[in-house]
Structure 1
Amino acid sequence: MQAWGNRTWLLALLGLTALRLLAAILIPVSPDEAYYWVWGRALAPSYYDHPPMVAFWIAAGTALAGDGALGIRLLGPIGVAIASLLLAQAGEALFPGRRAGLWAAVLLNATLLFGVGSVLITPDTPLLVFWCAAIWAAARLHASQDGRWWLVFGVMAGLALLSKYTAAFLGIGIVIWLVAERQARPWLLRWQLWAGGALAVLCFSPVIWWNAAHGWASFAKQGGRTGSAGTGSALRYLGELVGGQLALATPIIFVLCVVGVALACVAWVRRRDAAAGLLVALTVPAAALFLWQATGNRVQGNWPAILYPSACLAAAGYLGAPWRRWKQAGVALGLAVMLLALVQAAFSPIPLPRRNDPTLARLGGWPAFAAQVEQARLQQGASFVAAEEYGLAAELALHLPPGVRVVAIGDRWDLFDLPSPTASQTGLLVRSERRGDGPPLWPGARQTGGIVRARAGIEAERYRLHAVTVAPDGPPLALLPLRR
């Protein structure tokens, strides 16, 4: 690694970005991505599930590259490449001359969370990009003691909040560092710190306004997850959390991050290393909260993604020469696993059943499935296609022929500024068998058949088809945007 020059590093990053853009073209769009594509066609200050940044990114990408997979995902690989450069610069600012920044960026890119997450666009993608940018600003602030970096940090933190609510841990971590670190406390009396905080709030204010106008729906949904009681045991949830991180960070890099953060804690306590304190404050409080949450409920595997930029910096900065081979092994394993996951998602060379292949369950067979749905619609003379699941409805809107309208049913669509279908129209409701044998949400639905979504002959999911009619006093309905 030390033999690598900056040019080699930049060429490697450029090649990795090109590979991710190619994967973005080849891998089918997932239901969540299709749902966020609907957001990008119905832009709003916020949404029921998350803040709006992912919608802005998709709207920009599709304006440049169209409504296909590349347009939807375009800004992800590019943003992650920029974030990698900023993280490398942050490491150089915190650990001058030790090439820790390059190691941190390489380790982060070798995780599945960052590697595959840069191809599939979700709110975590812009969150991690702006999170890395905020760490870069904080590192430059620490190295230069120039208060103007607080303004940059405030904007980056605000944009991270505009991406996902877990960005609040960024502010929490910085406040802990300011209070606990003696060298940082003088900033509490400087106007630049407070101006940076005001900029963060200003960036986030559209989300606050939207929630106030919609009964605080998004805050209530996401805030209700914290501390809610689950039905499993604490040991089970903790095991799922740790096991998920071992898989998503890859085992060697996960261990390197844990050891690196532990050594950073030692350096902060024993040597009053302010750089170590910054990394600890950005990692440990959020990690502790996720562990506490796992004692009573399931923590989704992607939630701790925000821990890894600072954890990789700690691993790069505090694990010296004896750990070099482990770093190399971790990077090699991580890149190999990432490549295998991308190839399986794009080409499915290994014929695995649904229970063993998450790429089949989420990504497999959507274009062919949409063609079957269109054939059934034409046979029944239906004027539209409908779905209860938001991801299924969005996939159909994305893959059905241009001009075929998709109607989504469910309470969440009341929060969108989307038109409703006219009364008395007849349609074809597509309903997954996973929803059970109970009646559809659409009153008066009459089952007319069924179809199967499959990839290379391997079943992904079964669906029932129902004939439906729009009634004036029916449940909330929304006409999804047409593909351009």
Structure 2
Amino acid sequence: MELRGVLDPDLARALIGGLSPGGDGGRSSTGSVPGGWLVALAAVTVLRLVVAACSGLSPDEAYYWVWSRALAPGYLDHPPMVAVWIRAGCALFGDTALGVRLLAPVSAALGTLLLMLAARDLAIGPPEGGAAGGTAGRMVRAGLLLNATLALGVGAVTMTPDTPLLFFITLALWAIGRLFATGQGAWWLVAGAALGLACDSKYTALLPGAGLALWLLGSRAGRAWLRTPWPWCAGLLAVLLFLPVIGWNAAHHWASFVKQGGRTGDWRPARAVQFLGELAGGQVGLATPLVAPFLAGGLWRAVRCARVQARAALLACWSVLPAVVFVQHALGDRVQANWPVLLYPGLAIAAASLAWRLWRAAVAVGFALSLLVYVQATLAPLALSPHLDITLRQMAGWPALARAADGLAGETAGGDGFIAADEYGLASELALALPGRRVIGIEPRWALFDLPRAPAGGPANSQGNFQESFQENFQGIFLCSVRRLRDLDRGPFARMVPVGVLTRGRGGVAAERYAVFRVTLAPGAGARTALLP
């Protein structure tokens, strides 16, 4: 086998022993995605597109849509990739649910194909438990196990930063698989670009990247690659792609890095058992109860085989280091259930070598749970409370609430009254649903956006006739969740008059109640507000 750019004979032998298809198990990297699976994947993708178009947007998705209308190299909560993807989808299908979510089902389909090819190239040893259907069987198992998780099943019909993150993480694994299969160093550049784009999606992408660096330093094959320029160039490429995010943070007092990085130093051992239990329970829920043992088993097998197989060592480093970080964080604070999802593609590849008889049942249960969520999100046959039904709590009733608020705002300031909210998700939902109405977000985070400030805070004319003009132009209504009334900040308003309560819900089941006030913005309020698109 020819290794391009490698001149040192000892180095060549190390690379061949560690990375070539025959170097750690004699496997061939031949194999293509079975045609029947392509048909099934296309059908699932069409279903996901329908669900994405027909279910309501969550407040976070509406918030990311606002990002897409004010594109920037960074935001307080996350890097900008989710906004770029939404902007692309809305360019094709407008400011609709399908436009916002278009690239979620598409990237899930493309990512599944990449994962299956990566499973071919990164397969660990002979399959356990007897015959496993050979290379094609591993490829199909990896794709099915990942798609059977609720993390991907729900993530493929919604748009969050995890959506592009999972795609670029899978792209990186595919490129690394090609590196192992061919020994050609140029694949490092693809892996580096994918990891850089993953970091542009969510900061947690740094963790598998650190795991890859650990493999380079800690394994014979990895150290051999460090004697070539390829991994160094890959790292430089990843940093260059991440530089705009660093630049945005530097220009905004490191706001996003401080918000996300400030969580790392928490230490509350008295609640560690609770947090660790929530971490484990969240993964069982998102991976589904029967798929979760497969992912855990895949990690265990990768660790067991790490000493004798370079592929296994890489998958172990790729997964173990982030897992340790999440466990460490759980010793002091709650780990959100979706954070470890970036480990699922690598774990699905490792789990594909486990020919446990229950894998078909695990996949069937996982798909059934996702289908149940799809049906409830679109048809809502079950009248569940918002505590049990996340589709009701997050997605239901927003258009009706927006219409009711628009009617009340139309009775203010000669029909030109604004609508204001101090919850970013609520304000974003109203802005998305009411393009013809001025919607004002009142929260410090809006100061980091390149959005117009709500006009307030100065004399209206040279004659000093301030109050009359002010009340005429800066009147509207303000919505606040009833749950938040106790902590309501009245500072942005010169006047607040209670109007009543609006309820958001579905089928007679309330998801949230909002107190409504007729308000006048106070002078100086513009510094803490934004006029949403």
**TM-score, normalization by structure 2:** 0.86
1:311 matches 2:347: yes
CA distance in 1, matches of 2:33, 2:69: 43
Map 1:272-287 → 2, pairs under 5 A: 272-287=308-323
Shift in CA distance, 353/155, structure 1 to aligned 2, threshold 3 Å:
same
Query: Does 2:196 align with 1:158?
Result: yes
Letter in 2 for 1:197: G
Q: Where does residue 85 of structure 2 map in the other structure?
A: 57
In the alignment, is residue 460 of structure 1 matched against residue 514 of structure 2? no
1:16 equivalent to 2:44? Answer: yes
Give the match's secondary structure for 1:356: coil
Match of 1:245 in 2: 283
Structure 2 unaligned residues grouped into runs of 5+ = 1-31, 125-133, 457-469
Local SS of the residue matching 1:220: helix
CA drift of 1:416 comes to: 0.5
In structure 1, the partner of 2:383 is 351
1:201 has 2:242 as partner = no
Structure 1 residue corresponding to 2:208, chosen from 170, 195, 209? 170
What is the distance in 1 between the residues matched to 2:296 and 2:364? 19
Q: Give 1:358's aligned amino acid.
A: I
| 1:452 counterpart letter in structure 2 | T
Partner in structure 1 of residue 530 of structure 2:
478
TM-score of the two chains, using structure 1 as the length reference = 0.95
Residue of 442, 450, 456 corresponding to 1:417 = 450
Residue of 159, 162, 171 corresponding to 1:121: 159
Matches within 5 A, 1:58-457: 58-95=86-123, 97-99=134-136, 100-229=138-267, 233-269=271-307, 272-317=308-353, 319-320=354-355, 323=356, 325-381=357-413, 383-400=417-434, 402-423=435-456, 424=470, 425-441=474-490, 442-444=492-494, 445-457=496-508
Shift of 1:359: 1.4
- Name the amino acid aligned to 1:60: A
Rounded to whole Å, the distance in 1 between the matches of 2:386 and 2:108 is 30
CA deviations over 1:429-464 (Å, ceiling 9, x no partner): 111112132443433333222111111110111111
Shift of 1:349: 0.7
| 1:83-120 deviation digits (Å, cap 9, x = unpaired) | 11111111111239523222111110110001111111
3-state SS of paired residue (2:387): helix
Distance 1:343 1:129 in 2: 25
Q: Verify the 8 A CA contact 1:93 1:139 in the aligned structure 2.
A: yes
Question: Would you say the 8 A contact 1:50–1:165 is kept in 2?
Answer: yes
Residues 230, 394 of structure 1: alpha-carbon distance in 2 compared, 3 angstrom cutoff:
farther
Alpha carbons of structure 1 residues 392 and 22: separation in structure 2 relative to 1, 3 Å:
same
Shift of 1:232: 6.8
CA distance in 1, matches of 2:417, 2:76: 29
Once the two structures are overlaid, the 10-residue window that deviates more, 226-235 or 388-397, is 226-235
2: distance between equivalents of 1:294 and 1:479?
38
Return the offset for 1:230: 5.7
Residue by residue over 1:182-228, the C-alpha shift from the partner in whole angstroms, topping out at 9 and shown as x without a partner, is 12211111111111111101111100000000000000001012232
Contact 2:65 2:83 in 1 (8 A): yes
SS at match of 1:467: strand
Q: Is the deviation greater in 296-305 or in 342-351? A: 342-351
Pairwise CA distance, 1:347: 1.7
Distance 1:280 1:333 in 2: 27
8 A contact 2:80–2:201 mirrored in 1: yes
Q: Determine the C-alpha separation between the residues in 1 that align with 2:528 and 2:299.
A: 49
1:421–1:470 Cα contact (<8 Å) kept: no
Structure with larger Rg: 2
Deviates more, 1:73-82 or 1:4-13: 4-13
Residue identity opposite 1:395 in structure 2: E
